[in-house]
Structures are given as structure tokens and as C-alpha cells.
Structure 1
Amino acid sequence: MNTFVHKTLVVQLRAEGTGRCPVLAHLSYDADDPFAVTAAFGHDGRVLACWRLDREMLCAGLERPVGVGDVRLRPVVTGALRELRMEFLGDVRPDGGRHHAVVFAWAPAVAAFLRETHRIVPPGRERVPVDALLAEILSAG
């Protein structure tokens, strides 16, 4: 059984002082880390940012606003266009502000990716090998 899902999407990045520009979003899911989705954003062969997102939060963000910290998600509907708006707050800049970016992804493509992850590990069936993790931590000592 396949325990890994990867999907590449073209998304729209809106950074401070710019309009929208296309970038690639590489979404990946590994059953060994069943609660997380990794989103790596790239352009011209460079990784611009990489975020680990909570899979359940990503699902909820397709339906309603979620998040209060560094990651905030919400659906956006403009006519027939359904998007997922992902807002990311990054490291502190020298001026004391924080890096800030907004990414718009086509919601049906994100939903299809999440359905694939749910086939591998259904929601509520996630397991974390706590005993093995504790043994590793204690052995490192």
C-alpha cells in the first residue's frame, strides 16, 4: 500500500507590495507523520518557503476561517472560482515587522489532494508511535 501522496499545484502568491504571481506549491503527505501536510513553495527552481501544516486544519480551511497564529486559512469564493486563501507570517524583519505572504490555491485541487491522504490514513485513525519515540528520546540521554 502506498503511504505517501505528492501533488504539485500552480498557486498565486501575493506578497507585500505586489499583485498575484504564479508559483509552484508541492504538497506532500507521509503516513509516518499522519497529522501533517508539508507545503513547499517554489519559483524558478528555488524553494521560497516550506511550511508544515496540520492536515485537519487544512481540511477545515476549505470550509471556514481557521488559524490564529502564524498560519491562517479560509475559503474565498469569487463567482464560480473557489480558492483556499493561506496566510503565512514568517520571521521578524530588521524593522520589527514580520514577513507576510498570502497564497491562493484552487480549492478543488487541495480537496482532491486531501481525499488521497484520507484514503491512506482516514481522519481519526492517525496513530503516533509514542512508545518508540520515548525510547528514542531516553536512549539519546
Structure 2
Amino acid sequence: MKSFVYKTLVVQLLAQGTGRCPVLAHLSYDADDPFAVSAVFAHDGRVLASWRLDRQMLSDGLVRPVGVGDVRMRPEATGLWHELRLEFLGDVRPDGSRHHAVVFAWAPAIAAFLRETQQVVPTGRERFPADELLAEILSTAESE
């Protein structure tokens, strides 16, 4: 059975002063971490940023605004074109402001990726291996 989903999308990074520019978004989902989607944004072979996103939040962001912290999402539509707007707040700069990035992804592509993740681990069937994690932590602590 498949336990991993990977998709590369071309998304639009809203660059201050220049408008939108295309970057790659490498999305991955692993059944071993069933609540998360990893997103790596890259341009010209360089990683610009890497985020772990909540899978349910990503799904909810396709239909309504979500997020109050460092990651916020909401649907945006222009005519027949439907996008997911993702806003990321990063580290604090020396002047006290925070790095801020806005990315627009084609909503049907995100929805298709999420459907694939649902085939791997359906919503409600996610399992967090708390007992195994605790046993691993305790065994490491005992061996030190």
C-alpha cells in the first residue's frame, strides 16, 4: 500500500514591488506523520523556505479563511480561476518586523493532492503513535 504522496506545483510568490513570480512548491505527505503536509518552496535550485502545514487546515483553507498564527490561508477567486492564498510569517528581522511571504496556488491542484493523501490515510483514521514515541524517549533516557 502506498504510504507517501509527492507533488510539485508551480505557484506564484507575491514579491514586494515586482508582483507575482513563479516558484516551485514541493508538497509531500507521509503516512508516518498523518496530520502534516511538508511544503518546500524553491527557485533556481535554491530552497527559499520550508514549512510543515496541518493537512486539515490546508483542506479548510480551500473553502474558508483559516489560521491565526504564522500561517494563514484563504480561498481567492478571479472569474473562473480559483486559488489558495497562503500567508507565512517568518523570523523576526533586526528592525523588529517579521519576514512575510504570500503564495498563491491553483486550488484544484491542491485539492487533487489532498485527495491523494486521503487515499493513503483518510481523515479520522490518522493515528499518532504516542505509546511508541514515549517508549522510544524512555529507552533513550535509560541508556544515557
TM-score when scaled to structure 2?
A: 0.96
**Residues 4, 30 of structure 1: 8 Å contact kept:** yes
Deviation string for 1:54-82 (max 9, x for gaps)?
00000000000000000000000111100
Aligned residue number for residue 87 of structure 2: 87
Cα distance between partner residues in 2 of 1:42 and 1:77: 25
The alignment partner of 1:94 has SS state of coil
TM-score when scaled to structure 1?
A: 0.98
The aligned runs of 1:8-47 (5 Å cut-off) are 8-47=8-47
The aligned runs of 1:68-79 (5 Å cut-off) are 68-79=68-79
Aligned residue number for residue 5 of structure 1: 5
The alignment partner of 2:110 has SS state of helix
The alignment partner of 1:116 has SS state of helix
The alignment partner of 1:33 has SS state of coil
Cα distance between partner residues in 2 of 1:62 and 1:44: 28
Cα distance between partner residues in 1 of 2:50 and 2:111: 20
Cα distance between partner residues in 1 of 2:100 and 2:58: 19
Bigger radius of gyration, 1 or 2? Answer: 2
Gaps of 5+ in 2: none
| Percent of aligned pairs with the same amino acid | 78
How well do the aligned residues superpose, as a CA RMSD in angstroms? Answer: 0.7
Aligned residue number for residue 61 of structure 2: 61
Counting matched residue pairs gives 141
Q: Is residue 115 of structure 2 the alignment partner of residue 115 of structure 1? A: yes
Which residue identity does 2:131 align to in structure 1? Answer: D
